[in-house]
Amino acid sequence: MTLLAAGLRKRFGAVAALDGVDARFERGRIVAILGPNGAGKSTLLRTLIGALRPDAGTILIDGVETGALARAARVRCLGYVAQRPLLAGALSVREVVALGRFALDRSQERVERALAATELTREAERVASTLSLGQQQRVALARALAQVDAAGWLVLDEPLAALDPAHSVHAMALLRAHARGGGGVIATIHDPTSAALIADDALLLDRGRAVAAGPAPATLAPRMLEALYGVPFAQLDGDGLVALLPRPMHRSSQGGGSTS
Amino acid sequence: MKSPPRARADPAARTWRRIAAIGAALAALVVLRLFVERPLGGAASFGWPEEAIRTLRMTAIAAALSVGAALGVAGVFLQGLLRNPLAEPFILGVSGGAGLGVTIALAFAWAGTAGSSIAGFAAPEWLPGAELVADAVRQLGLVLPAAIGGIAALVAVIALGQRRGAPDPLALVLAGVVVSTMCGAVVLLLQHLSPQGLRSDLAAWMIGRIPEAVEPALLVVVSALAIAGVALGAALGRSMDAATFGDDEAHAVGVPLRRLRWTLGIASGLLAAAAVTVAGPIAFVGLVAPHLVRSLAGARHAPLVVGAALAGGALLLAADILRQLVDLGGGRIPVGIFAALAGGPVFLVLLRRGKGFG
């Protein structure tokens, strides 16, 4: 019942974007992938969905290599949203979401349900490319929700980065609901605090290697983040929430923590 | 298409109504072209033509419709293939490459005469219309070199139009201009070297024309290709819709991108080749027709392809009618001139708007 990556390697010219990554993603859990810029996070996601062919290594879903899956089976298992979804074609929101069913049956019900879940029903006839970046990301998420089965994985590149706090909270609830329904979520998340809020597990990538993986609270401890990013981190607890903040280098110390 | 469910039925039905309106405009233009006449040096009038004239006009109408449709569909395919709103056969050098292919075939008398392996083709006699089929196959001696030239030009332009490993909208256009100019230069050279008769034929053809006399078999080939192009476009509509997403997301929803791109590239090369073989390299129809339909009927590719075929035919027919009416003292003005004068500004507006550039 897992998505398993073993020994993934991918080079772009002289750069090893993935340098032997092993990772394990369970259903029912949200996994946050963190790492400095250029650590290979997006490359890992693109390789997991099969958009990039790794130079070496295998990806198995429940023991079956993803390359050997029929297209419809693969599509049901793996949905993907890019960091900046490209919605260039002047299609309406509903048309974009309906294309989540491209390789599957054209279930109108799944489309409407995904629109409702992402609160896009009222926007359904608008041209998707004219929406704000945050809304476009929601459209792409709706498309992925219309696409994957309850037991499939949502593979998301920075799903929270472009969202305002309200939509961010809403998106986190959506991802949680998908995990609770038996699906998996794999998301790169830049902000450690957001990662700690949403993720069950964390995977830390550095220069194409998985340097740590495990339950989020332990993996996202300040000393782990310090080792990963090379700057000191502080952990603030309050209101049942945890904030993980990089300490500014100069010591002009801060007042209130972020505890909303 | 016209499924009942609430909100959805409305936009889809409206799209097809608008496409039907384009079809109606096209029908009106067909009627107009049949009746408009202007004797050289005289004034324009309307009248029922006698049979010989009627045949000429029907031929011109058929040529305009099939060439316009082929160009419109090729424009949709190329814009989808490259995610580039400026793409069209003329700009990308596909028409230039096809023109070179035709010229080489003509110059070396490959087409329809000695030297062609398919020149001696004879259809079995039991086949209905065996003569026409045999003629049509012989016409491929012209269309195939055109297609090879067009596809080769497209491959070259895509290879040259890369920046940092990805096709760049403006670099593609520049590469297209260069490839187009170079193909044109070779065509002019071959023209310069050809005998007098062929030379003036080639000159008229190079400007872009809607002929009133064409080999019927060639017309059959071009119409068949145009219709096949529309059918292919309608079948690939959803794939092209999904391919407007980024490559990774298109892959994730299940689009076989590589296969789609090869299909679109080869099909647009064939369509442009068919158009060029009959009418010469006509500019901008492949650009204006899709954009016109998009602004009227939305961006879904299946209706877009049908609409662009109709609109392409209508635009060329309108230009051909205009040419019957306008007399600046030098006889009838070639259609290619109208197309370039009317289409150029549209290109510039799209270029300035910069819509859809990565």
pLDDT digits (tens, 9 = 90+) for A165-188: 999 999 999 999 999 999 999 999
Out of A49, A103, A104, name the one closest to residue B248 (CB): A49
pLDDT tens digits, one per residue of B79-120: 999 988 889 999 999 999 999 998 888 877 644 443 334 444
Query: Which residues share a beta bridge with A215?
Result: A201
Residue B334 has pLDDT above 70, yes or no: yes
The predicted pLDDT at position B109 comes to 63
Give residue B126's pLDDT band: very low, low, confident or very high (50, 70, 90): low
Distance, in angstroms, between A216 CA and closest chain B CA? 27
Give residue B271's pLDDT band: very low, low, confident or very high (50, 70, 90): very high
Residue B1 has pLDDT above 50, yes or no: no
Alpha carbon distance A148, A151 (integer Å):
8
Best to test chain B binding among A47, A71, A77, A99 (most B CBs inside 10 Å)? A99
Residue B123 has pLDDT above 60, yes or no: no
3-state secondary structure of B209: coil
The residue ranges of chain A whose pLDDT is under 50 are: 255-260
Alpha carbon distance A9, A3 (integer Å):
17
Out of B5, B246, B253, name the one closest to residue A99 (CB): B253
Out of A72, A85, A94, name the one closest to residue B249 (CB): A85
Alpha carbon distance A130, A88 (integer Å):
9
Q: For residues B9-19, give the mean pLDDT.
A: 85
CB–CB contact A74 B244 (8 Å): no
Pairing of strands B162-163, B166-167: antiparallel
pTM given for the model: 0.88
Structure tokens at B17: 């109504």
The predicted pLDDT at position A117 comes to 94
Residues of B in contact with A81 (CB under 8 A): 249
Contact by Cβ (8 Å): B49, B322: no
Alpha carbon distance B28, B153 (integer Å):
36
- Check residues B207 and A120 and name the one with the higher pLDDT: A120
CB–CB contact B252 A49 (8 Å): yes
Q: Does B261 touch chain A (CB under 8 A)?
A: no
Alpha carbon distance A116, A94 (integer Å):
11
Best to test chain B binding among A44, A78, A95 (most B CBs inside 10 Å)? A95
Alpha carbon distance B289, A171 (integer Å):
41
DSSP run (H or E) holding A60: strand A56-61
Alpha carbon distance A247, A242 (integer Å):
15
Q: Which residues contact A240 (CB under 8 A, 6 or more apart)?
A: none
The predicted pLDDT at position A258 comes to 44
The predicted pLDDT at position B135 comes to 76
Name the least confident of B92-106, B279-293, B328-342. Answer: B328-342
Q: Does B353 touch chain A (CB under 8 A)?
A: no
Residues of B in contact with A77 (CB under 8 A): none
Q: Does B296 touch chain A (CB under 8 A)?
A: no
Alpha carbon distance A150, A169 (integer Å):
21
Please report, as a single letter, which amino acid is at residue A109. Answer: E
Average pLDDT of every residue of chain B: 86
- Check residues B287 and B111 and name the one with the higher pLDDT: B287
Enumerate chain A positions whose Cβ falls within 8 A of a Cβ in B. 46, 49-51, 71-72, 74-75, 78-82, 85-92, 94-96, 99-100, 102-104, 108, 124-125, 127, 140, 143-144, 147, 155
Dihedral angle of Cα A84, A90, A91, A93, to the nearest 10 degrees: 60
Alpha carbon distance A193, A125 (integer Å):
35
The predicted pLDDT at position B7 comes to 46
Alpha carbon distance B37, B9 (integer Å):
44
CB–CB contact B254 A72 (8 Å): yes
Q: Does B252 touch chain A (CB under 8 A)?
A: yes
Alpha carbon distance A216, A203 (integer Å):
8
Q: For residues B265-280, give the mean pLDDT.
A: 94
**Alpha carbon separation from A210 to A22, A57, A63, A64 (Å, rounded):** 7, 14, 21, 23
Residue B32 has pLDDT above 60, yes or no: yes
Alpha carbon distance A217, A200 (integer Å):
8
